[in-house]
A and B are shown apart, each in its own frame.
Chain A
Amino acid sequence: MALTLRGVGYRYAGSTEPALLDIDLDLPDGRVVGLVGASESGKTTLCLVVSGLAPRTVGGRIRGTVEFDGASVDDWPMHRLSQRIGIGFQNPSTQLSQVSGTVFEEVAFGPMNLALARDEVLERTWSALAALRIDGLAERDPRRLSGGQQQLVAIAGLLAMRPSHLVLDEPTAQLDPAGTRLVGEAIGRLAADGASILVAEQKTDLLADVADDLVVLDGGRVAMRGPAADLLADAALERLGVAPPASIRLGRTAEAAGIDPAFLAEARS
């Protein structure tokens, strides 16, 4: 079930300027699409539009078409969309239910609402916790965790839903390097199982690991798109406010100093 956007524009309620303009986007099954761009280039807005939250709960005006396998989702209510598409917000405190007494309950909340059998709920919850190595936090109160731990709990809640389409808005912003790696691996596994994933990130190192394709936004429009490996090495990216991955940066510094970047690339592998 490929998700496609054609000619999509979006304007927030009360705003005179459109936040998105003329966006074409394909999210095919089994692919990870990275979304980058400077601050306020429209990444979060595009995440909201793809997930259906904008305009359904956010308000504002949308134009263009959003389709699942060629069928418009315009008439779909949010609950129908949310069974297909999971969204992870940038700030976990807006994601967590704030009513669950334990991390386990928080992560089990989604699958329970899918009306799954008990054992299925338990299995999904434990495997999501284990994937992010937070099974040790299962009995803790989610409101009393650190920011990064809360972010992992929020992502575990999404993984437990096993969504066929997943939108992640800076999922690793508050995570330590190992947590970031685990989220990257979880994204890779979901995609290998056939899910389509859109992931907005400032951490281009993570995208270098997980993204198949890359979409670069600038001023609410798609400025560049293509295979992630090619675009991440493109010097134009930095001019659009996106920091290149550490390996690309190091290669450029080396080259400027007259050292063969290929030599360093070899040392890295």
Chain B
Amino acid sequence: MSDLAVEGLVHVYADGGVRALDGVDLRIGAGERVALIGQNGSGKTTLVRHLNGLLRPTEGRVLVDGVDAGTLTVAQLASRIGLVFQDPDRQVFAGSVRSEIEFGPRNLGRSGAALGTAVREALAATGLDGEERTNPYDLGGSRRKLLALASVLAMETPVLVLDEPTTGQDARGVARVRAVIDRASAAGRTVIAISHDMGFVAEAFSRVIVMRAGRVILDGPPATAFAEEAWEALGSTYLEPPLAARVGARLGLGATPTDAALIEALAAPGSGGSAQV
């Protein structure tokens, strides 16, 4: 299990001098389900790329289990933190689905039955079983994206970081991603995901971190992050609460970030049960 801490993290991209991260402090405990949201360009991707050492801090540090990530090699970090890119074409390179998925665990030294099991489970979780010999570029964009997810799942890292996992996925693909998150979480793994789908965020995560201009401006459970008091802050970073939260606030039911929470609040005695048919 891995505890993550980010302390005073600043990142200035070398060319252009843009301060993509401007002092981020965070602690993420083992097994948490965290959504990272914020407007385009607010620093979400830059932040998660520090977690597995793809980017190194300009200032501040990242701690993995109390150890400064700067003292760990990329290989050591890769065994703990699996990062799935937003664009699978930045990640996928192998000639077949199977070799693509095997690459990560092989590099972590897995072989034989352990490797076989890891690959089989990753294939099943992403619905790619039966495509082992397919060339990744013969898959459509959405399944190529699920392949990128499978290849990181197979590394069985204690921390799973997903950069916009549901974009380009149809209803079934989104359900698969959701199941992958639920299963990883049930197995005690930490899941951190960047998303612009507020309904998905409210339903699939227990903690929501909101970023604006390289800083964290809100951090709490969905009921807090999408409560009416937070709407102004959300709006300042181009976000809006899920529909259920807006309807719940309008009906004076308090924070109802998900459809289920809204229906439950409506069904509760004294909620204006006139709504009942």
A-B complex is real: yes
**Residues in chain A within 8 A of chain B (CB atoms):** 37-40, 44, 90-91, 93, 140-141, 144-149, 151-152, 170, 173-180, 202, 238, 241-243, 246-247, 249-250, 253-254, 257-260, 263-264, 267-268
The 0/1 profile, CB within 8 Å of A marked 1, for residues 6-42 of chain B is: 0000000101101000000000000000000011110
Contacts of A242 in B (CB 8 A): 170-171
By Cβ-Cβ distance, the 8 closest A-B pairs, closest first, are A148-B40, A178-B238, A39-B142, A243-B171, A40-B140, A246-B243, A146-B41, A176-B238
| A residues less than 8 Å from B44 (CB atoms) | 146
Contacts of A141 in B (CB 8 A): 15-16
Binary contact track B31-59/A, C-beta < 8 Å → 1, others 0: 00000001111001100000000000000
Within the complex, the shortest CB–CB distance from A87 to chain B, in Å, comes to 15
Known: A178-B238, A250-B259, A268-B243. Contact between A259 and B267, CB under 8 A?
Answer: yes
Which B residues are in CB contact (< 8 Å) with A37? Answer: 170
- Known A148-B41, A202-B168; 8 more pairs at CB < 8 Å: A40-B143, A140-B16, A144-B16, A148-B40, A177-B240, A178-B239, A259-B275, A264-B247
Contacting residues, chain A, for B251 (C-beta < 8 A): 267
Tell me the smallest distance from the CB of A34 to a CB of chain B, in Å. Answer: 14
- Which A residues are CB-close (under 8 A) to B87? 91, 93, 147
Once A149-B40, A243-B174, A267-B250 are accepted as A-B contacts, the answer to whether A254 and B238 lie under 8 Å apart by CB is no
Interface size on B, residues (CB 8 A): 50
How long is the Cα–Cα vector from A140 to B174 in the complex, in angstroms? Answer: 33
- Asked whether A241 lies within 8 Å of B267 as measured between CB atoms, the reply is no
Contact with A along B218-262 (1 / 0, CB 8 A): 000000000000000001011110111011001100000001101
Q: How far is the CA of A177 from the CA of B250 in the complex (A)?
A: 20
5 contacts across the A-B interface (CB closer than 8 A): A170-B168, A174-B164, A175-B196, A253-B263, A258-B277
Which residues of chain A are within 8 angstroms of B40 by Cβ–Cβ distance? 146-149, 151-152, 174-176, 179
Judge whether A39 and B262 touch: CB under 8 Å.
Answer: no
Across the interface, do B172 and A147 meet the contact criterion of CB distance under 8 Å? no
Does residue B173 face the partner (Cβ distance < 8 Å to A)? yes
Would A176 and B196 be within 8 Å (CB), given that A260-B277, A268-B246 are in contact?
yes
B266 contacts chain A at the CB level, 8 A cutoff:
yes
Contacts of B121 in A (CB 8 A): none
CA distance A238 to B86 in the complex (A): 25
B85 closest partner in A (C-beta): A147
Residues of B contacting A178 with CB < 8 Å? 39, 235, 238-240
A253-B168 in contact (CB<8A) = no
State A140–B15 Cα separation when bound (angstroms). Answer: 10
Do B18 and A144 touch (CB < 8 A)? Answer: yes
With contacts A174-B40, A243-B174, A260-B276 taken as known, whether A147 is within 8 angstroms of B260 at the C-beta atoms is: no
Q: In the complex, which residues of chain A have a beta carbon less than 8 angstroms from the beta carbon of B45?
A: 146-147
* Cβ of A246 to closest chain B Cβ, rounded Å: 4
Expressed in whole angstroms, the minimum distance between the Cβ of B52 and any Cβ of chain A is 18
A residues near B91, Cβ cutoff 8 Å:
none
Q: Are A144 and B13 in contact (CB under 8 A)?
A: yes
Rounded to whole Å, the gap between the CB of A102 and the closest CB of chain B is 11
B143: chain A residues within 8 A (beta carbon): 39-40
Residue B188, interface by CB 8 Å: no
**With A243-B174, A264-B247, A268-B246 as contacts: A179 and B39 at CB distance below 8 Å:** yes
A137 to chain B, nearest CB (A): 8
**Pick the contact of B173 from A39, A254, A267, A268 — CB < 8 Å?**
A39
* Whole-angstrom CA separation of A93 from B173 in the bound complex: 23
